[in-house]
Amino acid sequence: MAQSAAPFVPPEFKVPEKLETKEFRLRMLTVNDVIKDFDAVMSSAEHLRTIWRGGSWPDGLTIEQNLIDLGWHQKEFQTRRSFAYTVVTPSESHVTGCVYIVPARKPGYDAEVYLWARQSELAGGLESTLYAAVREWLAKEWPFKKPAFPGRDVDWDTWDEI
């Protein structure tokens, strides 16, 4: 399906730099996060394979490939084509996940949102807390009328059929 010629977000929209709570901070994912991000990804490989349906990522991921991926995400954010946020502890000492906001590929939605929390943080409820905070943040600060959270608010089988 061809992407729309319309911009993902309006030109006048000021993209939020961050979202802060007592538990975490979201901010733009950059190449400077490569080491901490790589650690979070690789230590959460089992969990990531369960939420990224049908894939084997991050199997085979190297630091170099992660650096390339982070550079791509950073450039996409700067050009306002998609928005990847790292989830860090308030002190920024630890990456605890990621949030990706991308243009919708399915009719009836204006954005797709994917998120994950570090596997070691799941028992403490971080992923659920992150999901709730991001839903509220999108409703309050973003221009989207109907964002989708595939695998969360729309189950994968239904999403595949849309």
**Whole-number pLDDT of residue 56:** 78
Average pLDDT value over all residues in the chain: 93
Q: What is the pLDDT of residues 11-25, one digit of tens each?
A: 999 999 999 999 999
Q: What are the extents of the domains in the chain? A: 22-161
Please name which of 103, 95, 90, 23 lies closest in space to residue 66, comparing C-alpha atoms: 95
Q: What is the pLDDT of residues 33-72, one digit of tens each?
A: 999 999 999 999 989 988 877 677 888 899 999 999 999 9
Torsion of CA 101, 119, 121, 102, to 10 degrees: 0
Q: What is the pLDDT of residues 140-154, one digit of tens each?
A: 999 999 999 999 999
CATH of domain 22-161: 3.40.630.30
**Whole-number pLDDT of residue 4:** 53
Torsion of CA 24, 30, 34, 82, to 10 degrees: 90
Please name which of 18, 49, 37, 47 lies closest in space to residue 121, comparing C-alpha atoms: 47
